[in-house]
Structure formats: structure tokens, C-alpha cells
Structure 1
Amino acid sequence: MIYPIVVYGDPVLKKEAEDIEEGSMDVKQLVADMFETMENASGIGLAAPQIGKSVRLFVVDGTVLEDEEGMEGFRKAFVNPEILWEDGEEWAFTEGCLSIPGIREEIMRPSRLRINYLDENFVEHEEEFDGMKARIIQHEYDHIEGVLFTDYLTPFKKRILKGKLANISKGKCDADYKIKLPKK
């Protein structure tokens, strides 16, 4: 099932998400739906709050980044993740977000992380990631913490984007996927 993507301005995007209790929902189906929704929107990551569900779950698929070395097989679901540490030199990259269509900005992030998470079968994993894998995870992890990439921008940059962000929250944006406007 393809969900509409919740856009900027909806309170669910700024709320810290709740842990998922095993057996409380069909996590495997939700993960499958999230992958389908993300692929339909040509994304490389999608967090549950972006489809209106305030739970600690996100999916990533870096396999579509053919130019990035080491991305083969990087397609995962992260349930109740916890970043244990972030390290390494911060590096800049221009990020975008399915919930903020049409806006891309350079964001600085640490180059490495270690994360503990459950997969869609509730099997626990602890892994380290670096480079683009770490960046994708950090971006999606921020979503379940109620943080958007625009929160990292300077006050000056936020003022410049204020009008565009307001338009997105009113549905005045170009997205080639179904969006869901903020609840009033």
C-alpha cells in the first residue's frame, strides 16, 4: 500500500516517536508498505512519521545510489533504533526530504555512527556505518526524534526559506507523489 507523504508543517513531523511493542502492529506489512511508498516517491529513506505514524521505524535503500561505492545490499528496516555514538569528521552534503519537496540544502553531519536496532522480525542488531550510509541513517533517525534537516540551517537561511516552507504546508509545491497536508 502506498501512503501519502506528510509534508512540512504537520505536528507529527516535530514529535518524538514512540517505541513499537512487539505484537502491537503488523511491522512486516508496515515495512513493506513503507518501502513501496518510498520507492513510489523515488526516495532513499522514509521514516514512519512521514506517513503520519508516530512510531520509531524507518526504512532505507541506498542500492539506488549506483555512483556511491559500498551501497550494494544497503536496504534495511530499523525498528526502535538508538544511535549509540556518532564520530568522525563532519562533512557537508546537500540533503533533501520527501516531506519538504523542492528544497535541498547543505547539511553537516559526522561521518560515522554506531546504532542498535531491531529488524522487521524483531531480531536485534548493533552495527557501525560510515559515509553515505551513516548520513541516510542520521537523516531518517532525526525524523523519529522530531527533527527535520531544516532545523540545522542558520537563522538567516531559515528566513530565506520561510515563504517556501509555508507554501509547502499549504500544498503549493511540486511533488510527483501523493502528499498529505498538515492537520489544521
Structure 2
Amino acid sequence: MTPIGREAFVFFVHKDNPVEELSIGQLQGIYSGKITNWQEVGGNNEKIRAFQRPEGSGSQSALMNVMDGVPLMEPPSEDIVSAMGGIIREKTNYQNRKNAIGFSFRHFSQDMVDNGKIKNIAVEGILPTKENIQNETYPLVDNFYAFTSNHEHPHDQPFIEWMQSKQGQWLVDQTVYVPVR
């Protein structure tokens, strides 16, 4: 396993939500149902609408890792979104409901952030920018890898070297993932 890129797990809110950052503990509180009003975390006096994904999806599994054993609340069925793009569309469709929070991998949410419909929340005071993901200061970062087998193949090492080269890392960047270098 050779790291060739990085990805971040991000939380986002409506662009007009005044909350700019949340701690891991606050996120756990929101998704466990212990924190139910944005006012409890510095926002407006509004009920928090915390979207989840179906059990077994990649991003729901990532949320479970963030929860670190803290039990998830049972979401209302209308707040479970079936597709990765769906969670973002559902969240941004609530133009008059600035009380929603969602999560995704940065790769899937970046277009919506770029067009100003949602904003990423800083986690532990760190925004999921490319720089913070690359230098791993954003706390919810993971590598993705090129896998090679135990059997040597003459093209394995040249491929790995190319993926880690300037050109290979440029390609990683062009896919909206974050290069390791």
C-alpha cells in the first residue's frame, strides 16, 4: 500500500448558518441527539436538523468513526438521504431552513461549496482546505492508496513512482482529491 492522495471527511451547513466551527465533541453531541439546538454551539435559536446516510454507506461508516463509540441518534426517516449527491442536494434545497447539517467526503461536496450554497465547518478550529488536508492538520483526513501485490511485476515500481511524481500528483489534484506531496 503506497499513499498517493488524501481525502477529508467534512461537515457542512447552509451558507447562512452563523456557526463556523465545531469540535469533535460537539459533532458527537449533535449526532447523538444530546445537542439539539444551534444556540448550544453558538448559532441561532433553531432546532438542528442532522442528516444521516443509510447504514453501510461509506460516509455513514466515516461518521461512525467520528462518533468513536458514542451511539448515534435515530434520525427521522426524512433526514436519511440515499445517495452521496443526494445529501448535498437535500441540504441545499432547504433555502429557508438554515438549521441543517450534513456530512460527506470533501471530493463530493466541493462543487457545492464552490458555488456558495453550503459551507464547510471547521473541525477543532481547522477548515478542510487543500493545504490543511495535505499537511494533515485538519483532524478528519485519510490517505488513499495504490495497491500492489506481493508478486513483483516490472511495472509496479515505475507506476508508483509516477503516481508520486509531480505529474501523478497533479492528476490526483485534478480529480478534486488532495495530493500527498
Q: TM-score, normalised by structure 1?
A: 0.27
Q: TM-score, normalised by structure 2?
A: 0.27
Structure having the higher helix fraction is 2
Structure having the higher strand fraction is 1
